[in-house]
Structure 1
């Protein structure tokens, strides 16, 4: 059913709501997301939406997921569709495929600007902005009456920051006049500013439904990343609250739930907006708690995790569970095995009474996560952030030799630059603990792109290593990832085979699809885990074949994207193309987490004092 018709016919004492999901990168994550969507559908959303990777990077998974939810699960689905970096004819193909799957709703987005647009993949000249997509659908004899079309709006201005509010409102009205049926807004945290924006939208004659985007805060670090990506302002009171609890992930998550509740109550009073669009990040518990405590999801708040605080602006705390208490000593003994291998009768992830399926991936910590998680591979709302060519040159220069690349990665380690193509933020504080070793590897020409030091029973609120709720203990094995040539890979493999003694495991892969490893095919290598009162052991960072291959493919695509910013035939382009073709991504884990120097002693030889 078309969303516009469903909104017009909606009859309930509370506003409607929709859920947004993105297609996970792995088959296991995809399958588990279907299960998660099925559970969340019991909360009776009016529709769900499925995101679309920039340039159709998740085209097949987006269509498959939207087709499943629409046809097989009978949930009205909104398919996101971007118009930049789309090859000629791709828009027609997608619209035909959506129509064939019974999808009647499209969210038309401009998407990210083309990466390296001066010299990269040519786009279909018909589509440069969201309005072009709206106009095309509405004027097409085959599609014009088949789709309800939504468009995006930015209450605080577009993240590009190229136009003022008046101009943005003109653009929005033009999209509506071209045939858009509803508006979905970017996430926001400044409610007063949002309400002022809604008033201005109505004053210029826009009458279609405005559906505000709400994203409950999950972790402090992801919150900082998202507000930077989206370019949204945050009231000082919220920043102050979050800074005071930033080292307790559970308190941050609880605060995020309460903040979402307070925000929704304010913006839905007096019919300001008819409904809410939840950006779920493929996580379910926070959204469920928000709806249950608004009493929109059928009855009173849940009892298992009933919220204590009721007053606006207060921090809420789930009652501690009592089913299973794990102590540091018992967790250490069960998690200390070098490598775990799935058994034939492996139990379902998150099946335990406390760590049940709704919450088993509540505390993502690290790039890998668990490849079976529905949230594995999150790229943020509506695609990954990009840099302009000017920004790339300013930040990373014009490397013409491998030595130039070595110097670039060393400069990053020395905090002389704040990003690399593989690290969108400054060097983490924990990396400073092993800085000399990372520098030594990089100077050798093994360019490091990921690492962590060993931690044995750290406090969960430690400002550097802590994560999860307070009162817990965290552990991590040391690992390092880097790009190296094939000769180096052979040297490393020989050393591991000769001296690793079962304590060192590795993966190495190249762009051509080769993968070498001493990890069993079904091995699951947890390198970060935590134990908390009333919970099962939580494993938040896992390196296994599926997750490594997923990251490997992304890493080599980054080399290609980086190369695209330089003209064809240039030294920079040729260098980066050769690196992409010839280098291997190597990941090495040392399992003795009680020996902080174990990995580095193995790699360099001799005793290393940390």
Structure 2
């Protein structure tokens, strides 16, 4: 059913809500997301939406997920996001036909990420440069015009890629509605007063279609900081101040995020006009459920077709891990996550936890690869580079020496970010700063690491995480980019000298993968022991997550390269790095000896 018709039929009887999901990167995550959507469907959303990666990068997965949720036995009215810029010519026509054939009646028409650095190597359809072009086109084609209900985006804090006056942006929004849009879903925001003022101006401009505000409960401080920056979201000063003392305690941040979302929604609903809310779930479920319970909006209506969902069996493979980030996971020295494999009969026992616990702690960019939220660095499928011009801190690299200088400057706190880190070096990484600098100056650009830790209090301000009154442990690991000659030397050196204490993965952008981790083995490199709780293994390095991280890491190089014009020296250097360098991850299992990894790596045989 069309969303506009459902909203109209609902009237002012009670508030409604919709849930947004993105296609997971792995087959296991995809399978488990379907089960998660099944559970969330018992909360009776008016519809769900499925995001569309930049330039159609998640086309097949997005269409597959939307087709599943729209069809029997799920029967969830599904809104498919569809972007129009930087798309291959003819792709939109193919997608519209496929979407209609799947019985999907709702679209969210978006401009999408603009071409960066005049990306002439990606052909685009000249008919579509803005969302309004997509709306007009759909309404102009008889077979689609009456079939689809079309939504468009609104930007209460302004569009992240423009510096237009608010009046101009509202005029652009009206143009989209006049072209045939039926509803508006807004970009996420946290300034309620600004939103209410914006809604008033939108109504004064003659826009009468339903406005559905986008709400993203704060899950972790790192995710909040990253996505508000990516979306150009205004963060009220009182919110920033309230988060400061909490940001290193994941439980407190999540609890605060739930309460803040409840307060936002209550204020917006009390102001009138707004009857529905769009939850940006990040493929997580607990916070959304807690918000709706706090609002007393939960409960399945009698006769709702969604009640069927509750009785559906979960797909095979539905199991979970207690995911808890170390401080390293939110910096340039980012972590990986997973843990020791168990047989199917042991899933949910011992160290492993039920799928419901996936949300207890954030997955981060390297959560358990079976989690629906695995790899949520950018749920819209972007490169990880913010939608902005080149950061001046990164300079204009014309050689590998320039890149070494940039990474070194970051380690020395002379610059605050790199394309691989959106914040300063964390205190944990500072404890191994000399080692990271030595590697970087060697031309091995570090992008992930953590020191060895043996039974440190979980309340420790640098290494602590999770519940208080516990103990945390870490194995040292380091990740970096190096050339093939050095990668070959590292592989041989580990084979000759590792003696079972050292594991590694290494890969290039062409898909060549090497490693000495046996079979389906997983290396738990961070774990915690807490009173009355299972052992929580939070950071794990294993094949599947390393491959996914490798793809993201090399796409970051290419995304950075695309910010420079074709033919420029900067673009050539960055594309050469993406084509020729290897990403290497090395783990040392002796966590009781702080210098074990570094003593091993800094050997004269490797050129140190």
**Pairwise TM-score range, normalised by the shorter structure:** 0.7 to 0.9
Does residue 1:397 correspond to 2:398, yes or no?
no
Q: Give the deviation of 1:284 after TM superposition.
A: 0.4
Give the match for residue 293 of structure 1. 294
Kept in 2, the 8 Å contact 1:504–1:591? The answer is yes
Kept in 2, the 8 Å contact 1:211–1:274? The answer is yes
Q: Give the deviation of 1:534 after TM superposition.
A: 4.2
SS at match of 2:366: coil
Worse-superposed segment, 127-136 or 116-125: 116-125
User: What are the within-5 Å matches in structure 2 for residues 127-526 of structure 1?
Assistant: 127-269=128-270, 271-298=272-299, 342-345=341-344, 347-348=346-347, 355-364=353-362, 367-380=365-378, 382-384=380-382, 386-387=385-386, 390-392=389-391, 394-526=392-524
Worse-superposed segment, 281-290 or 447-456: 447-456
Q: Give the deviation of 1:389 after TM superposition.
A: 7.8
Kept in 1, the 8 Å contact 2:226–2:422? The answer is no
Give the match for residue 86 of structure 1. 87
CA distance in 1, matches of 2:349, 2:76: 26
Unaligned runs of 5+ in 2: 301-321, 323-337
Distance 1:352 1:68, change over 3 A: farther
Kept in 1, the 8 Å contact 2:527–2:539? The answer is yes
CA distance in 2, matches of 1:391, 1:509: 27
CA distance in 2, matches of 1:457, 1:563: 43
SS at match of 1:142: helix
- TM-score normalised by the chain length of structure 1: 0.87
Kept in 2, the 8 Å contact 1:51–1:62? The answer is yes
CA distance in 2, matches of 1:90, 1:138: 17
Distance 1:15 1:366, change over 3 A: closer
SS at match of 2:218: coil
SS at match of 1:559: helix
1:540 to 538, 541, 549: 538
Give the match for residue 561 of structure 2. 563
SS at match of 2:423: coil
Kept in 2, the 8 Å contact 1:354–1:534? The answer is no
1:425-478 deviations in Å (ceiling 9; x for gaps): 332222211111111111112111111112223333433333334444332221
Distance 1:206 1:469, change over 3 A: farther
CA distance in 1, matches of 2:533, 2:127: 54
Q: Give the deviation of 1:605 after TM superposition.
A: 4.2
SS at match of 2:538: strand
CA distance in 2, matches of 1:585, 1:486: 10
SS at match of 1:268: helix
Q: Give the deviation of 1:346 after TM superposition.
A: 5.0
Worse-superposed segment, 125-134 or 174-183: 125-134
RMSD of the TM alignment (CA)?
2.4
SS at match of 1:241: helix
SS at match of 1:218: coil
SS at match of 2:420: coil
CA distance in 1, matches of 2:538, 2:108: 33
- TM-score normalised by the chain length of structure 2: 0.88
Kept in 1, the 8 Å contact 2:150–2:181? The answer is yes
SS at match of 2:358: coil
Does residue 1:37 correspond to 2:37, yes or no?
yes
Distance 1:218 1:390, change over 3 A: closer
1:178-213 deviations in Å (ceiling 9; x for gaps): 111111111222212211111221122111111111
Aligned length: 566
